[in-house]
Amino acid sequence: MTHCFESYSDDLTEITASCQTPNTEQKLLDVCKVGCQNHTDLQVTVCCCDTDLCNLPDSEKPTAAPAADFQRMRYKFGALKLAEPL
């Protein structure tokens, strides 16, 4: 099973995501057992799920599937970090 680990800042100016397969470290799998967790001291929410971007607030979820080029780029370069706020 693939686990996607995502985090986003409280003001949603920074969003990161990466998906991993079965050999995921136990401490990362423990994140999945807890669910979304807001770290107020860091102003970051960290989530685990089984699909990409599934833990974003509804207002920030994509409305259409990303283009195939974007999917290939994501797998080639790993986690993406936004340079500017949405």
Q: What pLDDT sits at residue 48?
A: 72
Instruction: Give the pLDDT score at 61.
Output: 66
Residue 70 CB neighbours (<10 A) = 10
Cα separations (Å) of 71 from 10, 65, 74, 80?
26, 10, 5, 11
Beta partners for 76?
none
* pLDDT given at position 22: 60
Whether residue 11 lies inside any domain: the answer is yes
Give pLDDT tens digits for 10-22: 787 887 777 767 6
Q: Alpha-carbon distance 64 to 66, whole Å?
A: 6
State both tokens at 55: 């833990």
Q: Is residue 83 part of a domain?
A: no
Does residue 45 belong to any structural domain of this protein?
Answer: yes
The whole domain housing 34 covers 3-57+65-77
Cα 1 to the center of its chain, rounded Å:
16
Domain count along the chain: 1
Whether residue 43 lies inside any domain: the answer is: yes
The tens digit of pLDDT for each residue in 53-80 reads 665 666 766 666 555 444 444 555 555 5
pLDDT at 19 (0 to 100): 73
25-39 pLDDT, tens digit per residue, is 777 777 777 777 777
Question: 84 lies in a domain?
Answer: no
Decide if 85 is inside a domain: no
Q: What is the per-residue pLDDT for 32?
A: 73
23 assigned to some structural domain? yes
